[in-house]
């Protein structure tokens, strides 16, 4: 998947505000809500292959920056990854 396709897909995707973590404002999208599960997995891999490593508290995540947001997953194996998160990039 090309970078422009990933950015456009993420931009058009519906994200839900994480109400249970108000102190860490971010949004998420769930694989189960995607009509195209293969596209979800391709975007997860794109984030992991093209993002940058950054620490959040004591844990390191890979963030992909686009559309004034940063996108990340929790680092589970691809077949167990069901969430893509995003937060406004600072």
What is the arithmetic mean of pLDDT over 1-22?
93
pLDDT score, position 11: 95
The pLDDT of residue 48:
97
Q: Any idea of the CA torsion for 23, 54, 46, 73, to the nearest 10 degrees?
A: -30
So where are the chain's domains?
Answer: 3-11+26-88
Q: How is residue 46 written in tokens?
A: 């794109």
pLDDT in tens, 16-72: 999 988 888 999 999 999 999 999 999 999 999 999 999 988 899 999 999 899 999
- Residue 34: per-residue pLDDT: 97
Joined tokens for residue 2: 């090309």
pLDDT confidence tier of residue 73, bands split at 50, 70 and 90: very high
**How many angstroms separate the CA atoms of 32 and 34, rounded?**
6
């Amino acid at each position: 998947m090309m970078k422009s396709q990933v950015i456009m897909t993420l931009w058009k995707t519906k994200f839900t505000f994480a109400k249970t973590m108000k102190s860490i404002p971010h949004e998420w999208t769930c694989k189960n809500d995607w009509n195209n599960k293969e596209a979800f997995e391709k975007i997860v891999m794109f984030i992991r292959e093209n993002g940058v490593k950054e620490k959040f508290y004591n844990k390191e995540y890979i963030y992909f920056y686009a559309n004034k947001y940063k996108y990340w997953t929790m680092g589970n194996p691809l077949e167990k990854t069901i969430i893509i998160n995003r937060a406004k990039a600072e």
